[in-house]
Amino acid sequence: MTDVHVVGTGLLGTSLGLALVRAGHDVTLEDAVPTHAALARDLGAGRLPGPGEPSGPDLVVVAAPPDVTAGCVLDALRRWPQAVVTDVASVKGVVLRALEASGVDLARYCGSHPMAGRERSGAVAGRADLFDGRAWVLTPTTATARSATDLVATVARAAGAAVRELDPASHDAAVAVVSHLPQLASSLVAARLASLDDDAVALAGQGLRDVTRIAASDPHLWTQILAGNARAVREVLSGLADDLDRVLEALAALEDGGDVPGARGTLAAAVAAGNAGQARLPGKHGATPTAYTTVRVLLPDEPGQLGRLFADIGEIGTNVEEFHLDHGLGQQLGLAEVDVVPAAAAGLVHALADRGWRIHG
């Protein structure tokens, strides 16, 4: 068992505590605001350290806002001379530069970034399974001891994550595209709704809801993230701005029934380029954590069928990780998507088929 001390009990710190307690580790909790740490404890994320505790944690995880992360890491390296220290800030270069500027020996430091989050923040939004099946990026440098990197990797896996290694610059360039760009796009689209009248808002469909879901994210946190990765974000955002200008030109050419040669081609190319990019994403729209396998069961869309299905699953003894019911499919059927751990999938399929359920490939 690894003794882990978590500094900062917001969404990530609390979720990590919950996941590590679940995995049987001893977790102590600390926050600049003591009542926040107490709340995380009450939620089951760990215990508050007694006097003089933690005396010798194996790992200190700094889960503080990006702007104060480097200071907290330096503080942790000084307070616990034997401990490995990591942080979970969404930006790595800005933190590393501040640490290097301090001149401290960084052998015991390995930066990291779990690719998990929610549009909600704070301890109450914490989830024990926040990291399950998610990537957790480690960003060791040449100064980092291999043993430090290995310990952080061990704890990240204990939290349910899949560990990857990237250098800090590559990490920051990657998240600028896969995380910071979509956040800004979602915010900018949602901002156009502010002045819309209610009749128009009432027409909102699933597409707009999906695109703007993360627009509910915390402005204070995101200002720190975007400012901390300003160059990489600006570069990818400039590329999008150039594409946007081409689309605006094409739309202007097509106004009032105009049909300038090439204008429609520009619009089609923009949407087609989106097809190509979207197709690169793994998973079926990410609806299911990659850690789970989906078993699809066709069931009659009438009262009691779900009860019968789950009673059968209960008898079979398989635990359901996630579940979604999709109606329609053309015929009057519902499609139940039952997500289970991969090892349980084959057995569940056979047991359900034996009970007469129609399994949908």
3-state SS assignment for residue 119: coil
Rounded CA gap, 189 and 181, in Å? Answer: 12
- Taking the least distance from each CB to a second copy, the nearer of 55 and 223 is 223
Instruction: Report the run of H or E that residue 345 belongs to, with start and end.
Output: helix 342-354
Q: Which of residues 178-207 bind a second copy (CB under 8 A)?
A: 178-179, 181-194, 196, 199-207
Tell me how many residues contact a second copy (CB under 8 A).
146
Please report whether residue 261 would count as binding a second copy according to CB under 8 A: no
Rounded CA gap, 187 and 211, in Å? Answer: 9
- Taking the least distance from each CB to a second copy, the nearer of 58 and 321 is 321
Whether the Cβ atoms of residue 296 and residue 359 lie closer than 8 Å to each other: yes
- In whole angstroms, the minimum distance from the beta carbon of 206 to a second copy comes to 5
- In whole angstroms, the minimum distance from the beta carbon of 359 to a second copy comes to 18
Q: Which of residues 142-171 bind a second copy (CB under 8 A)?
A: 164, 166, 170
Residues 6+ apart with CB under 8 A from 347: 316, 318
Rounded CA gap, 101 and 254, in Å? Answer: 54
Whether the Cβ atoms of residue 82 and residue 28 lie closer than 8 Å to each other: no
Reading the block at residue 230, the tokens are: 């300003």
3-state SS assignment for residue 168: helix
One of 45, 70, 161, 349 touching a second copy (CB under 8 A): 45
- In whole angstroms, the minimum distance from the beta carbon of 302 to a second copy comes to 7
Q: Which of residues 83-142 bind a second copy (CB under 8 A)?
A: 94, 97, 115-117, 119, 123-124, 126-130, 132, 134-135, 137
- Taking the least distance from each CB to a second copy, the nearer of 73 and 214 is 214
- In whole angstroms, the minimum distance from the beta carbon of 24 to a second copy comes to 13
Q: Which stretch binds a second copy (CB under 8 A): 47-55, 104-112, 138-146, 239-247?
A: 239-247
- Binding characters for a second copy, 241-260, by CB under 8 A (x = yes): x-xxx-xx--xx-xxxx-x-
- Taking the least distance from each CB to a second copy, the nearer of 82 and 101 is 101
For residue 177, what is the DSSP state?
Answer: I
Rounded CA gap, 76 and 60, in Å? Answer: 7
- In whole angstroms, the minimum distance from the beta carbon of 293 to a second copy comes to 15
Q: Which residue matches tokens 């679940």?
A: 22
Task: Single out the residue of 99, 95, 33, 85 nearest to residue 57, CA to CA.
Answer: 85
- Taking the least distance from each CB to a second copy, the nearer of 107 and 325 is 325
Task: Single out the residue of 247, 237, 335, 324 nearest to residue 286, CA to CA.
Answer: 324
Please report whether residue 345 would count as binding a second copy according to CB under 8 A: no
- In whole angstroms, the minimum distance from the beta carbon of 63 to a second copy comes to 15
- Taking the least distance from each CB to a second copy, the nearer of 48 and 270 is 270
Q: Which of residues 304-333 bind a second copy (CB under 8 A)?
A: 304, 306-315, 317-325, 327-332
Whether the Cβ atoms of residue 89 and residue 175 lie closer than 8 Å to each other: no
Rounded CA gap, 5 and 17, in Å? Answer: 9
- Taking the least distance from each CB to a second copy, the nearer of 71 and 79 is 71
Please report whether residue 14 would count as binding a second copy according to CB under 8 A: yes
3-state SS assignment for residue 152: helix
Order of strands, sheet of 162-165, starting from the edge strand that comes earlier in the sequence: 111-114, 135-139, 162-165
- In whole angstroms, the minimum distance from the beta carbon of 330 to a second copy comes to 4
- Binding characters for a second copy, 57-76, by CB under 8 A (x = yes): --------------------
First-to-last C-alpha distance (Å) of the chain:
41
Q: Which of residues 219-238 bind a second copy (CB under 8 A)?
A: 219-220, 222-223, 226-227, 230-231, 233-234, 236-238
